[in-house]
Amino acid sequence: MAVTQENTVRARAVRKRFPMGGGYLEALKGIDLEVKRGEYISIMGPSGSGKTTLFNMIGGLDKPSDGTVYIDEVDIAQLDAYELAWLRCRKIGYIFQTFNLIPVMTALENVTLPMIFAGLSGDEANTKARGLLDTVGLGDRWQHKPTELSGGQQQRVAIARSFANDPSIILADEPTANLDLKTGHDIIELLRKLNKDRGVTIISNTHDPSMLNVSDRIIWIRDGRVERVENRSDIDIEVGTIGGDVLGGVGEAHGGAAERHAMDRLKGEATQPTEGKSQ
Ligand code: ADP
Ligand code: MG
């Protein structure tokens, strides 16, 4: 499914302050962004730049100190507790770095749980969850508990769970951080496939630069601000240049000015930032 022109997520002047030692720490310093329905967005930025805080704001898991988050043009601060619960259960799927599966439950039970919360019968939920586990390549592992699955398999279960109630938006906060590079790649490819096949909007972040390859746009965050927004087309050459070699690790010696430039960007040290083209 193609990207549409409608915004599904919109943030306006979002600030977040955390109380700290009598004062406060401002983790988000006025974030503006727009995400179109069906887009695959990567949020990139150094550790501590505010990515998780931003995910929590967009996902309705925490409230901005100032500013507004709109989901499908609804200001989520205006939702009552019931509506907010509905949003979290039905509209948004969450994927975390540490998978966050329930350890005493099988893969199938983990995936059916959100469906049961949403009111599906046990039979309906089981059928749907088996289908989702098939989709993520775990059709034969549905009886396994998380400890009986590899990290990559656990994340696949978490992805199946995030799709349980047919959300229109998936938020994935560092979904590959606990995985080896190859497994991380597979997970990103899976997310991209689900994005294309189902038209679901995906907002994700990762330390893995190859993530850029699947993104429609990349939002670079630094110190609580949007530093720049890049379209996929703007980065094609750089990604093409670093190609599979990047699996060797960012920071390793590779030739080529474009490649070094790409590496600098990934480390957040770009000398010639491209100003936000889509904002
Ligand atoms: P990232 O996900 O990009 O690594 P975070 O959003 O987790 O960054 O954090 C951004 C900044 O906000 C950091 O300086 C972090 O220490 C701070 N921070 C995040 N959550 C809290 C909190 N609950 N209380 C105080 N400070 C926080
Ligand atoms: Mg984080």
pLDDT tens for each residue of 15-40: 999 999 999 999 999 999 999 999 99
Distance 64 CA to ligand 1 centre (A): 13
Index of the ligand 1 atom closest to the CA of residue 56:
6
pLDDT tens for each residue of 170-197: 999 999 999 999 999 999 999 999 999 9
Taking alpha carbons only, the member of 56, 58, 82, 66 closest to residue 26 is: 66
Point out the ligand nearest to the CA of residue 28. 1
What is the rounded distance in angstroms from the CA atom of residue 106 to the CA atom of residue 248? 35
CA distances from 224 to 26, 187, 197, 248 (A): 8, 27, 33, 30
Taking alpha carbons only, the member of 134, 132, 52 closest to residue 98 is: 52
**Domains in the chain, CATH or no CATH each:** 7-266 (3.40.50.300)
Q: What pLDDT is recorded for position 1?
A: 61
Segment (H or E) for 162: helix 151-162
Q: What pLDDT is recorded for position 254?
A: 35
Percentage of residues of the chain with pLDDT beyond 70:
84
What are the pocket residues of ligand 1 if the criterion is a CB atom closer than 6 Å to any ligand atom? 18, 20, 25, 27, 45, 47-53
Distance 192 CA to ligand 1 centre (A): 27
Taking alpha carbons only, the member of 203, 112, 104 closest to residue 164 is: 112
Point out the ligand nearest to the CA of residue 49. 1
